């Protein structure tokens, strides 16, 4: 409680008056007046922040936020998201660990030239991150020389942990299937992972790659989107979106390679919690030695 006070007291001007306290407790179906917010909060830069968000989340949420988010803008972001999306403490902790504030909206993409409206572009940009923490994947299983095998292992790990993947991937995603089959002119195409996003009203095809980004991957993903739009997409849905999820990328090169495609595409990377420092790996016995010890 002392930490909570010390972190927020420089920002909050004064304690609410008795009449204002009454207003705060009855705010469930209305938003507090914006002028009152400016009286309570010195920093007007976080224009999306609402005082009702601040009091809508629990003390445990606040402690998680002030402990792990150090800038005011980041704290206000997590407060707003927790209040409006009804995150529990553990969901909030996962997003703090993945550094959602830093990575949201930074995905290399071509959305501005391929989507029908600015509103849809903003939704899409906010729906995806440039990096995802997949801490349920064993990195040692992806270190074989066979790239296809690595990608099958990656896909199986995600499908086996689909709930955790969706929590990492973002809000409003519904899993449709993996190795989703689409037939075009007698040829079979298989989308690694297919989702539907309710907020975007779009199918989202995710192509998995175990290595570094290659420009040829974009052509493959663009073909999948054409097939989905022609044969799978419903008439009321927006055009399908493609996300290439790879181990590593040169962001400047990705932005260059992606700009002339006419389908909505984005490229993101992933990391795992098993990617520990080399000195720690060397200090641990290998798996066979561990088995003998057990």
List, for residues 96-132, the tens digit of each pLDDT value. 887 777 767 678 999 989 998 888 888 888 889 888 8
pTM: 0.66
Alpha carbons 122 and 110: distance in angstroms, whole number? 12
Domain residue limits, the chain: 2-97, 111-278
pLDDT tens sequence across 214-236: 999 999 999 999 999 999 999 99
CB 202 within 8 A of CB 241: yes
Calpha distance 283→285 (Å, rounded) = 7
Averaged pLDDT score across all residues of the chain: 80
Q: Where are the beta strands (DSSP E) in the chain?
A: 131-133, 173-184, 187-197, 202-208, 241-246, 265-271
Which long-range contacts (C-beta less than 8 Å, at least 24 apart) are formed by 36-42?
39/13, 39/14, 40/12, 40/13, 40/14, 40/16, 41/11, 41/12, 41/13, 42/10, 42/11, 42/12, 42/13
Residue 46 has pLDDT above 50, yes or no: no
> In which band, very low, low, confident or very high, does the pLDDT at 24 lie, cut at 50, 70 and 90?
very low
Q: Which CATH architecture has domain 111-278?
A: 3-Layer(aba) Sandwich (3.40)
| CA angle, 182 then 233 then 114, to 5° | 105
């Amino acid at each position: 409680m002392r930490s909570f006070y010390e972190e927020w007291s420089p920002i909050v001007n004064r304690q609410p008056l008795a009449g204002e306290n009454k207003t705060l407790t009855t705010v469930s179906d209305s938003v507090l007046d914006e002028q009152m917010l400016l009286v309570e909060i010195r920093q007007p830069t976080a224009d999306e922040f609402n005082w009702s968000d601040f009091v809508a989340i629990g003390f445990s949420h606040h402690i998680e936020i002030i402990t792990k988010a150090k800038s005011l803008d980041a704290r206000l972001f997590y407060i707003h998201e927790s209040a409006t999306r009804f995150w529990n403490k553990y969901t909030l902790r996962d997003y703090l660990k993945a550094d959602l504030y830093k990575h949201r909206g930074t995905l290399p993409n071509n959305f501005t030239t391929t989507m029908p409206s600015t509103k849809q572009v903003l939704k899409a940009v906010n729906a995806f991150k440039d990096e995802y923490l997949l801490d349920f994947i064993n990195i040692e299983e992806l270190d074989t020389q066979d790239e296809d095998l690595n990608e099958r292992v990656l896909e199986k790990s995600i499908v086996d942990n689909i709930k955790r993947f969706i929590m990492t991937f973002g809000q409003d995603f519904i899993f449709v299937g993996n190795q989703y089959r689409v037939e075009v002119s007698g040829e079979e195409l298989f989308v690694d992972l297919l989702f539907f996003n309710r907020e975007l009203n779009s199918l989202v095809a995710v192509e998995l790659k175990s290595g570094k980004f290659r420009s040829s991957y974009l052509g493959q993903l663009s073909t999948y989107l054409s097939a989905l739009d022609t044969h799978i997409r419903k008439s009321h849905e927006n055009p399908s979106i493609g996300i290439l999820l790879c181990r590593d990328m040169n962001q400047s090169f990705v932005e260059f390679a992606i700009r002339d495609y006419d389908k909505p595409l984005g490229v993101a990377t992933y990391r795992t919690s098993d990617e520990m420092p080399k000195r720690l790996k060397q200090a641990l016995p290998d798996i066979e030695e561990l088995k003998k010890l057990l």
